Amino acid sequence: DKAGHKHFMSKEIAEQPTVLQGALSHYISPNADAVTLPESGIDFAKIERMTMVACGTAYYACMVAKYWFEQVARMPVEIDVASEFRYREPPVTAGTAALFVSQSGETADTLAALRYMKGKADTILSIVNVETSTIARESDLALPILAGAEIGVASTKAFTCQLTTLAILAIEAARARDHLTDAEVSENLSRLRALPGVINLALGIEDKCKTIARQLAEARDILFLGRGAMYPLAHEGALKLKEISYIHAEAYASGELKHGPIALVDENVPIIVMAPRDSLFEKTVSNMQEVMARGGKVLLITDKQGAAEAGDGVWDTIIMPEIDAFLAPILYAVPAQLLAYHTAIAKGTDVDQPRNLAKSVTVE
C-alpha cells in the first residue's frame, strides 16, 4: 500500500518523521536522561574498539558512525565493506566489539563477515530492520531500527533509522567511557528527540528539489562533495542517484578534489556540495570556489547562515533547517533522497524497482 504516494520510495521518504519518532521513544527514556537498551545491554566501558561492517547504504551509515564514535566517545572505530572484510581475514585483538548493520539482515557478505567474527570479537552486535532475520538471530545483541517494512529498492527510511540508532549508541558509549556528563547526555538526547520535527520541516524542500532535478536529469556525470561526517552523506547521495536515475555520480571528500577529480570539472558536471555551516564550512567554501573558478556548476546544500556566507557564484542553493552539527548527517539524507527521487522521475526510470538491483542481496 503506497498510502496515496506514486511510489514506495516517496512514501518511505515521507514516513521518516513518524518512524524516527518510534525509534527515538524506543531507545530514549521518557525524560530524555538515559539511553534504554535491552536487559543484556552493551557495556561500552569494557569495549576498547569497534569494527563496523556492512554493504551499500548500511556501510555509509557505519561511515557516519565512525565520525560519531571517534568524536564523542573517543573510541577507535574501523569500518569496512563486508565483501572485502570477509576475505581479508583481519586479525582481531581482545577488547574488540563487532557491529553489523543491515536493513534486511540477510545480506550474504555481511552475514559471512559476522560468522568470521564469531569467537574472535568480544561481542557481536547488529543493527537490523528485520528482527527475525539471520543476522539478528546470530548476534549476541540485535538492535532493531524500527523503520517498518521498506519496499523501495533504494534505502531511505532505513538509512535515517540506522543513523539514529547509531547516534544513540555513540552517546551511550560516550557516557559509559566518561566523555559526556549526565547533563550533556540528556542535552544530546533531547536534541535527538527534536529530530523528527526538523526532518518534517526539511521535507518542505521537495518542490525545490523537483525543479533542480529537471536539470540534473540532463547530466551524464555528477559529483558529490562533503567534509567530515558529510563525506559519507556525499557517498549516500551519489549511490541513491546512480541506483535509480542511472546517472553516473561519484562522491569525494572535499579536500581530495585537488588531488585528481578536479580534472573532471567543466560546465557539464554538476557538483553537489553538502555543507551545513559547521566548523569545516570555510574549508568547503574554498574547495567550492576552486570548482567555480573552473566553470563548475555548484549546487550548495546548506543552511541559511551557510548560504549567506558562501557568497555569489553558485548555480543554486537548497536551504536546510538549522541543526546541531552532530545530527546534521541524518537531516542531510533528505536532500540526497529527494534529489535522486525527482531526477529518476524526470528520467522516467522505474523508481521502486531499478534495473539489475534486488532489495536483498543474499548471494555474494
Q: Which residue ranges make up the site for ligand F6R (CB under 6 A)? A: 55-58, 102-104, 107, 110, 154-155, 239, 243, 360-361
Residue closer to ligand F6R, measured from CB, 124 or 180: 124
Smallest distance from ligand F6R to CB 15, Å: 16
- Between 234 and 291, name the residue whose CB sits nearer to ligand F6R: 234
Q: What are 337's three cell numbers?
A: 533522497
- The amino acid sitting at 195 is L
For ligand F6R, the closer CB: 56 or 232: 56
**Sheet containing 221-226: order of strands:** 248-253, 221-226, 270-274, 297-303, 316-320
Is there a catalytic annotation at residue 359? yes
Q: In whole angstroms, how close is the CB of 317 to ligand F6R at the nearest point?
A: 26
Write phi, then psi, for 152 (nearest 5 degrees).
-55, 135
Supply the minimum distance, in Å, between the C-beta of residue 110 and ligand F6R. Answer: 5
- Cell 543484556 locates to 40
Nearest approach, Cβ of 127 to ligand F6R (angstroms)? 9
Q: How many CB atoms lie within 10 A of CB 308?
A: 10
Closer residue to ligand F6R, CB minimum distance, 103 or 160: 103
**What is the rounded CA–CA span in Å between residue 68 and residue 74?**
9
Non-local (6+) Cβ contacts of 9 within 8 A are: 152, 154, 156, 244, 337, 341, 351, 352
Question: Residues 2, 120, 208, 359: which is the catalytic one?
Answer: 359
The residue of the chain with the least Cβ separation from ligand F6R equals 56
C-beta closer to ligand F6R: residue 71 or 360: 360
Instruction: Give the Cα separation of 317 and 299 in Å (integer).
Output: 6
Residue 45, classed as helix, strand or coil, is: helix
Contact of 226 with 274, CB cutoff 8 Å? yes
Nearest approach, Cβ of 60 to ligand F6R (angstroms)? 8
Measured between alpha carbons, how far is 86 from 109 in angstroms, rounded to an integer? 7
In the chain the beta strands, taken as DSSP E runs, fall at 49-54, 77-81, 96-102, 123-128, 141-144, 221-226, 248-253, 270-274, 297-303, 316-320
Report in angstroms how near the CB of residue 104 gets to ligand F6R at its nearest.
3
Pick 107 or 123: Cβ nearer ligand F6R: 107
CA dihedral 116, 161, 352, 341 (to 10 degrees): -120
Residues annotated as catalytic are: 359
